[in-house]
Every structure is written in structure tokens, then in C-alpha cells.
Amino acid sequence: MGVCGYLFLPWKCLVVVSLRLLFLVPTGVPVRSGDATFPKAMDNVTVRQGESATLRCTIDDRVTRVAWLNRSTILYAGNDKWSIDPRVIILVNTPTQYSIMIQNVDVYDEGPYTCSVQTDNHPKTSRVHLIVQVPPQIMNISSDITVNEGSSVTLLCLAIGRPEPTVTWRHLSVKEGQGFVSEDEYLEISDIKRDQSGEYECSALNDVAAPDVRKVKITVNYPPYISKAKNTGVSVGQKGILSCEASAVPMAEFQWFKEDTRLATGLGGVRIENKGHISTLTFFNVSEKDYGNYTCVATNKLGNTNASITLYEISPSSAVAGPGAVIDGVNSASRALACLWLSGTLFAHFLIKF
Ligand SMILES: *[C@@H]1O[C@H](CO)[C@@H](O)[C@H](O)[C@H]1NC(C)=O
Ligand SMILES: *[C@@H]1O[C@H](CO)[C@@H](O)[C@H](O)[C@H]1NC(C)=O
Ligand SMILES: *[C@@H]1O[C@H](CO)[C@@H](O)[C@H](O)[C@H]1NC(C)=O
Ligand SMILES: *[C@@H]1O[C@H](CO)[C@@H](O)[C@H](O)[C@H]1NC(C)=O
Ligand SMILES: *[C@@H]1O[C@H](CO)[C@@H](O)[C@H](O)[C@H]1NC(C)=O
Ligand SMILES: *[C@@H]1O[C@H](CO)[C@@H](O)[C@H](O)[C@H]1NC(C)=O
């Protein structure tokens, strides 16, 4: 008991008690632990969860008793198995080596194991630490989320692993190398902006295996704003198209007005077409009454906005005469050349005849 009183670690005390059970340590004899020269156990053993660990102890023929202990519990004493754990098996018991194997190692197997021997009535022990590594694994991660611009978002990414993995968050929609947004399990964004929408990647990293990576998508809703609305000039009798482009999440719905009248496909020879962010108002055959100001209204659940677009008259001559005149000019020039050539040929003909 005196020995135990002086020892720091309670498991050490238990080891001594266990060894006394085996008569490896006579009562009252202190145990010298961690003897550097003998018996020689290996350096610390590092294995991955699920693999097998071999605990090796080098001995010589002066050794009369041998045992391997897990903390205070005897696993094997000589060839006798004391452990009831089927994963523990004896590998080698020769005059020079005494080794056991722990199969399918799990994290709770981590800790100190002791090789204990008795030589010339002197008990000696040597200790080895079994270190169990676990690849990083993300256990719990936030789901994809949709929020309104200006609100706050917190994403969570919980990972396990041994050693404890480092967790980082990266915004994938931004340029390479600029996307690190958090070096933590939590990613907090307050007053979120529309350009902060997109995919975020959580990565859990330790030096055991490849990082575990998962993605979360943040959708940021914002009210529409009209990015393109151009006034258009058309002459009477031609086809005219007004178009209106709006950016919004969720996507905007469009309406067209002339003064207070809402326009609809089929009414007054117009067609309204919405394709994604763009809405077009088509006049199949523009007449005088069509000219004027139109209002394009873009709406989603967060609000609406509008823009005024003018359909204005251009003279048919300025639209057609310009290019037409050029074509005419080319034609008359080539015609003149042809005439010159023809008259020359005729003249030659005339000379040959006479
Ligand atoms: C073995 O592992 C223990 C516990 O992790 C540590 O204190 C000790 O320094 C290690 N020894 C060697 C030789 O790595
Ligand atoms: C070692 O001891 C720990 C703690 O008592 C136990 O959980 C584990 O199963 C033991 N491992 C082996 C291989 O005996
Ligand atoms: C994930 O973590 C959240 C927040 O801590 C918790 O409410 C949820 O129950 C966890 N889900 C799982 C599957 O562990
Ligand atoms: C356009 O409208 C005018 C006047 O209503 C009509 O005379 C003309 O034939 C129409 N043109 C076409 C291509 O429909
Ligand atoms: C059309 O809109 C323009 C610019 O907004 C304005 O100057 C013009 O007076 C409007 N015309 C009509 C007919 O309402
Ligand atoms: C266009 O917007 C203005 C200012 O927001 C608003 O006063 C007007 O009623 C809107 N017009 C339409 C047709 O929605």
C-alpha cells in the first residue's frame, strides 16, 4: 500500500495491485516504471480506428514471467488470456519477444499499455501509448437556406475526428483564394447582401485522411430593380419591340401599362413575352396611336419597381432611304461600266465588219 500512496497516477497504483495478483511484484517492492533499457517496448503505437494494433515487447531468456496490461487490467499473462475482449489475441511468446494484437481498434482503446516482466525476481515494466486516429467526418451541417437581404444567417458545421479536425468555411462563388469566410464551425453573416448568396463549403481537416467537405447553399431574396429599359424608335407600319430587364430573387413578374391601362397579349395587336429576367412588348404593326410612354412594372414578393419606356416615331425615309441610296449608287456605277464595255465591243464589231 505504501507504494500506491506515493504514486501520482491512480492507474499506476492499480497496475501494481494487478501485478501483485500475478505474483510479478512481491508486496512492498516498488515498481520501476518506464525502464529505458529493459524490458524494451516499442515507441508509441499510432493506428487508425478499425485497424489492428500490435503491442510488442522485447525480452530475453532471463525473463520468467510476462504480461501485457491495459491500464490496470491484465490482458495476457504469458499464454493465458485474462481479457474477455475477443479482439485481443496473442501474437508471439518466445524467449525474445512477447507481443499481443488488438484488432478493430476503437477510440476507447487509446491509452497506456504496460509490458510487465519478471527477471531474476525483479519486476520491471515498460509502457507504450496506443494512439487512435479517426479521419475527419462532418456529423451535422446546416441545410440550404433562403433569407431576405439584410437578415442574419448562421451556418453550422460540426465535425469529429482524432486529432480534432480544423473546420473552415469558404464562399465558393467568389474568386479563388478570397473565399475564406470563417475558420470556425460557425459561419455568421449579419446584414447579408445579395452578392453573398451562393454555395458555401465546409471543410473538416486533420492529418489522418483527406478532408471531409460538404456544401450549403444560401439564397438571398431581394426586391426587383430594372437594369435595362431603352427607348425605341419605329416608323409606322413596322414591327416594334420594347424590352425591360429586371434583376430580382425570386424572379420578377412583369406587367406593362400605357397610362393607366394594363396591356395584354392579343389586345391592340401586341404580344407580351417573359423570358427569365427580360420582358418584351411587341407591336406587330405600329400605328400613330401606339407612340408614347409605356411603363414596365417588375414585381416579386419583396416589392416592385417600374420604368418608363418611350416608343417614338422615326420617319420611314430615314430608316429605308439611307442604305437604299448606297445600293442605288453601286448599281448605277456598275451599270455605267457595263455600258462602256458594251459600246466598246459594239465599236470593235463595227470595225471588223468593214
Ligand atoms: C507517447 O504518448 C504519450 C501520451 O500521448 C506522450 O506523453 C509521450 O511523450 C509519447 N512518447 C513518445 C516517445 O512519443
Ligand atoms: C482498455 O481499457 C479501456 C478503459 O477501461 C477500455 O475501454 C478498452 O476497451 C480497453 N481496451 C482493450 C483492448 O482492452
Ligand atoms: C445538429 O445541430 C443542431 C444545432 O446544434 C441540432 O439542433 C440538431 O439536432 C443537430 N442534428 C443532428 C442530426 O445531430
Ligand atoms: C398595318 O396597318 C395598316 C393600317 O391599319 C395596314 O394598312 C397594313 O396593311 C398593316 N400592315 C401589315 C403588315 O399588317
Ligand atoms: C414620356 O416620358 C418622358 C420622360 O419620362 C416625359 O418627358 C414625357 O413628357 C412623357 N410623354 C408623355 C406623352 O407622357
Ligand atoms: C411607378 O413607381 C412610382 C414610384 O415608385 C409609383 O408612384 C407609381 O405608382 C408606379 N407606377 C406603376 C404603374 O406601378
User: What's the gap in Å between 126 CA and the centre of ligand 1?
Assistant: 13
The strand pair at 122-141 and 45-48 is best described as parallel
Tens of pLDDT, residues 25-65 = 544 444 444 444 556 667 899 999 999 999 999 998 888 99
Amino acid 174: pLDDT: 72
Amino acid 143: pLDDT: 98
Amino acid 121: pLDDT: 86
- CA distance linking residue 190 with residue 193, whole number of Å: 9
Mutate to test the pocket of ligand 2, among 108, 131, 132 (most ligand atoms within 8 A of CB): 108
| Residue nearest ligand 6's atom 11 by CA | 306
- CB-side neighbour CA atoms (13 Å) of 128: 23
Residues of the chain with pLDDT under 70: 1-41, 175-179, 317-354
CB-based contacts of 246: which residues, under 8 Å, 6+ apart? 224, 225, 226, 227, 252, 254, 277, 279, 296, 298, 305
Determine contact, residues 100/90, Cβ cutoff 8 Å: yes
User: What's the gap in Å between 308 CA and the centre of ligand 4?
Assistant: 27
Amino acid 31: pLDDT: 44
What is the per-residue burial (b if ≥16 Cβ within 10 Å, else e) of 292-311? Answer: eebbbbbbbeeebbbbebeb
Amino acid 23: pLDDT: 55
CA diameter of the chain:
152
| Residue nearest ligand 3's atom 2 by CA | 140
The strand pair at 278-283 and 270-275 is best described as antiparallel
| Residue nearest ligand 2's atom 11 by CA | 109
- CA distance linking residue 19 with residue 122, whole number of Å: 12
